[in-house]
Amino acid sequence: MKTAPLPELQDSPEDSLRDVAGAHLPLPKSKIILWVIVLLFGSDFALTVATNKNFGWPTVGHYFFNETVLQGLWVTLWLAVVSMLIGVVLGLPIAIGRMSKDPLARGLSNAYVWIFRGTPLLVQLIIWYNLSFLFPKIALKIPFGPSLVQWDANAVITPITAAIIGLALNEAAYMAEIIRGGLLSVPRGQRETAEAFGMKPMRALWRIIIPQAMKTIVPPTGNQFINMIKATSLVSVIAMADLLYSVQSIYNRTFEVIPLLMVAVLWYLLITSILSYAQSHIERYYSRGDSMHAARSTSDDAKTTEEDAK
């Protein structure tokens, strides 16, 4: 007995106009209520801060572009950049030393990271600033022999040198761990393949390992630089004229403590926001390979599905 063929279903004009690509789940009422509550509390808090005369917003506007404040801002920026660069340069060999099979290199690198990560940065800055109490003379000498060259510690260790040395050496310990984590993220087979093609270990490190590790190293390095911007405020305790020290010198004369501190807060927020925006672009640049790989995998899966359907 023959059965009549089923009639083909034809899309109605309404169905053909439906585009599910942009479809999304309806927003739950509970989430809408939560958003409304958060916005109400946030708006109330913002209005309270804006209308609170104790913040001294006119004073904030008056001193925001003050010459002393801008000079302190410049000191903060170049101090952070110089210290960060030195920290990265020192952190790379320390990271390699921690991964080395040589017990001496590994032991020295581990000791360095242990000391500088295990003590507060503020304590380190104060010790460097008062180094002349421990060593009145800084000498370059032969072990157990005579001094070749020596300098007066008070002349060498100024607030600037103490700030750079303290920030850079401390940052090197953290960068060493970041770089080491990035190097360990690269599959071991990459190094073995490079060596199988005749590359020396150091050449394989610079040409193969480090470029692949950058995707893992860059994001935490950006975070460290943002932290460095804020850590420079600690150098105010050793009379280094950074941003915080500059606003302190002003409110010590005017006694307008909160408005001047708000000037510093707004500048720090502005700088870190710009750096965070730049960091997001850099992260996208180094993650292009993953995006292309994911797109290629999706395309291959679609082709496989079409072939199976046929």
Neighbours of 222 (CB within 10 A): 17
| 141 three-class SS | strand
User: Is 88 a residue whose pLDDT tops 90?
Assistant: yes
Mean pLDDT of 141-164: 85
Q: Is the pLDDT of residue 304 over 90?
A: no
Could you read off the pLDDT of 250-286 as tens digits, one per residue?
999 999 999 999 999 999 999 999 999 988 888 787 7
Q: Tell me if 166 sits within 8 A of 124, measured CB to CB.
A: yes
CA dist list (Å): 92 to 1, 96, 109, 138, 179: 82, 6, 11, 27, 7
What is the pLDDT, as a whole number, of residue 185?
85
- Stated pTM of the model: 0.79
In the prediction, which pLDDT does 310 show? 54
Q: Does 232 have pLDDT greater than 90?
A: yes
Q: In this predicted model, which residue has the larger pLDDT, 309 or 258?
A: 258
